[in-house]
């Protein structure tokens, strides 16, 4: 599992941070926490603004 942070592209607001096996799973987890079935179920207005999923794994 990796740590992902999901941000809005237009203003940099953090929407979700958590562990997921891949980017798509992270997007789906973010949507579920917001009360939606998965990322594709989010309203078009939210998805059209764009989100960015950054992998935050740190190597020591």
Helices marked H in the chain: 23-33, 44-49
Domain assignment present for residue 24? The answer is yes
Q: What is the pTM of this model?
A: 0.87
Written as six digits, the tokens of 29 are: 């987890």
Question: How many domains in the chain?
Answer: 1
Tens of pLDDT, residue by residue, the chain (60 residues): 899 999 999 999 999 999 999 999 999 999 999 999 999 999 988 888 899 999 997 765
Cα distance between residue 57 and residue 26, in whole Å: 14
Domain assignment present for residue 41? The answer is yes
Cα distance between residue 30 and residue 52, in whole Å: 12
- Provide the residue range defining the domain that includes 46: 2-55
Domain assignment present for residue 29? The answer is yes
pLDDT of residue 49: 83
Domain assignment present for residue 60? The answer is no
Domain assignment present for residue 17? The answer is yes
Q: What are phi and psi of 47, to 5 degrees?
A: -70, -35
Domain assignment present for residue 8? The answer is yes
């Amino acid at each position: 599992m990796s740590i992902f942070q999901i941000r809005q592209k237009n203003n940099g607001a953090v929407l979700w941070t958590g562990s997921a096996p891949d980017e798509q799973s992270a997007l789906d987890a973010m949507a579920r926490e917001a009360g939606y079935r998965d990322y594709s179920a989010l309203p078009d207005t939210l998805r059209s603004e764009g989100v960015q999923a950054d992998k935050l794994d740190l190597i020591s």
